[in-house]
Structure 1
Amino acid sequence: MQKLLTFLISKTLGLYINILSYIYPKKASWLAYKFFSHPRDGRLIKESLPDVLKEADAEMITHNDFLFQIYTWKGNDTKVLLMHGWESNASRWELLIGHLKKSGTTIIAIDAPAHGLSSGSEFSMPRYAEFVNVAVQKFKPDYLVGHSLGGATALYFQSHYQNDYIKKLVTLGAPCDLNTLLKNYAGILSLNSNVFQLLEKHFFEHYKIKTHEFSGSVFASKIKIEGLIAHDVHDTVVSFKEAEKIARAWPDAQFVTTKGLGHSMHGDALYKSVYEFLFEK
């Protein structure tokens, strides 16, 4: 029943935006972008944090008009920064943190814009990368690990900031092309081509982003450090083909395929591979 209700709401919203695009295109563009960029899940309440986050040292950092949350599990001088994905938060790393602690490393996790305890209502990769850059300058991590849009943002970050502190980068279930994300979103709401063009125009006018050029394969081609790309062949959220495009563009990256982990990419065997990539080579 819940799935049917969600389906009907999505299609009704899409129909409304489609009709609006011919009458009030600016409002249609704003609505389409709002529902694409505003997460509806992933928030946390400070008074009732998951246990794994209660174990960490928590710090709120100010950046321009935004606040973002950082969690640190203190260890030795080696540091790894973890970046979660869409409608998630730093607590999603609980299982991986258990593996990373075996190395004695210091573990740092960030709440993305509009997620966890971080401020804002809108998510964008460039803004997420800004947050990450502030954290990298402060903590100087050796490694980055990102899941889903966190992995895509890690690629964007390293290609644009070219940070010398980062020695290795891991992506788990990361999407590649912004246009693919937009097409999937348009499919869910059954948005017409007119609305899709309005969305492309919105990205360019507000962020100077040409959606067909905003691609993980482009970002990966500029990265000079070692990487590990992991993706599940049965991922129903982000197509396996997205990982293949990133892998083709990043010659210094290993490509690990999994079966049965889905989009969450939680698995002891995979996390063992991540551990070995980071600490045993």
Structure 2
Amino acid sequence: MQKLFTFLLSKSLGLYINILGYIYPKKASWLAYKFFSHPRDGRLIKESLPDILKEADAEMITHNDFLFQMYTWKGNDTKVLLMHGWESNASRWEQLIGYLKKSGSTIVAVDAPAHGLSSGAEFNIPQYAEFVNIVVQKIKPQYLIGHSLGGAAAIYFQSHYPNDYITKMAVLGAPSDLTTILRNYKGMLSLNSNVFKLLEQHFFEHFRIKTHEFSGSIFVTKIRAKGLIAHDTQDTVVSFKEAEKIAKAWPEAKFITTTGLGHSLHGDALYNSIYSFLFDTE
């Protein structure tokens, strides 16, 4: 019943935006972008945090008009930074943190904009990367792990904010092309071609982003850090083809495929592979 309600709501919203696109195109593009960029899940309440986050040292970082939440599980001088994805929060790393702790490393996780305890209502990759740059300059991590849109943001960050701190990064279940994400969104709401063009125009006018050029397969060519790419062949959220695009453009990165883990990519074998990639000396 809930799935049917969500389906009908999505299609009704799309129909409204389609009609609006011919009458008030500016409002239509704003609405289309709003529902594309405003997460409806992933928030946390400070008074009832998941246990894994209660174990960490919590710190709120101020950047411009935003507040961003950072969690630290203290260890040695080796630091691992974790970036979650859409409609999630830092607690999604609970299972992986158990593995990473075996290394004795310091583990740091962040809540993305408009997620967890971080402020804001809008999520976009450039803003996420800007915040992560503040964190990286502060803690100087050697390793970076990102899941889903957090993985895409990790690639964007490492290509647009080059640094000598991060030597290895793992990208899990990440999309490559913004155009692909937008087309999936278009299909979900049944948006017409007119609104799709308005949405692309919105990205250029507000962010100077040409959607066809916003691609992880382009960004990874600028990355010097060693990479690990992991994706499930049965991922129904982000197509396996997206990982293949990234892997093809990043030939020095190790490409791990799984079957049956889905988009979440929680699994002992994968976690052991990530651990080995980060901490085993070659």
* Same fold flag (TM > 0.5): yes
Instruction: Give the aligned partner of residue 182 of structure 2.
Output: 182
Aligned partner of 1:3: which letter? K
**What TM-score do you get using the length of structure 1 for normalisation?**
1.00
Which residue does the alignment assign to 2:5?
5
How many correspondences in the alignment? 281
SS of 2:234 mapped into structure 1: coil
Matches within 5 A, 1:31-110: 31-110=31-110
User: What RMSD in Å do the two structures reach over aligned CA positions?
Assistant: 0.4
Counterpart in 2 of 1:237?
237
Tell me the secondary structure at the aligned position of residue 263 of structure 1. Answer: coil
Identity of aligned residues (%): 80
Render the CA deviation track for 1:17-56: whole Å, top value 9, x for unaligned: 0000000000000000000000000000000000000000
Give 1:183's aligned amino acid. R
Residues 1-281 of structure 1 mapped to structure 2, 5 A cutoff:
1-281=1-281
Structure 1 counterpart of 2:221, one-letter code: S
Unmatched segments (≥5 aa) in structure 1: none
Aligned counterparts of 1:92 and 1:2: Cα–Cα separation in 2 = 23
Partner Cα separation in structure 1 for residue 228 and residue 21 of structure 2: 42
Deviations 1:183-231 (A, max 9, x none): 0000000000000000000000000000000000001111111000000
1:251 to partner: Cα distance: 2.0
Q: Is the 8 A contact 1:61 1:68 kept in 2?
A: yes
Q: Which amino acid aligns with 1:272?
A: N
Q: Deviations over 1:232-281 (max 9, x none)?
A: 00000000000000001112200000000000010011000000000003
Give 3-state SS (helix, strand or coil) of 2:144's partner. Answer: strand
**Contact preservation (8 Å) 1:220, 1:250:** yes
For 1:275 and 1:255, locate their aligned partners in 2 and report how far apart those are by CA, in whole Å: 15
Deviations 1:115-147 (A, max 9, x none): 000000000000000110000000000000000
TM-score, length-scaled by structure 2: 0.99
Check conservation: 1:14, 1:189, Cα contact below 8 A: yes
CA distance in 1, matches of 2:163, 2:212: 25
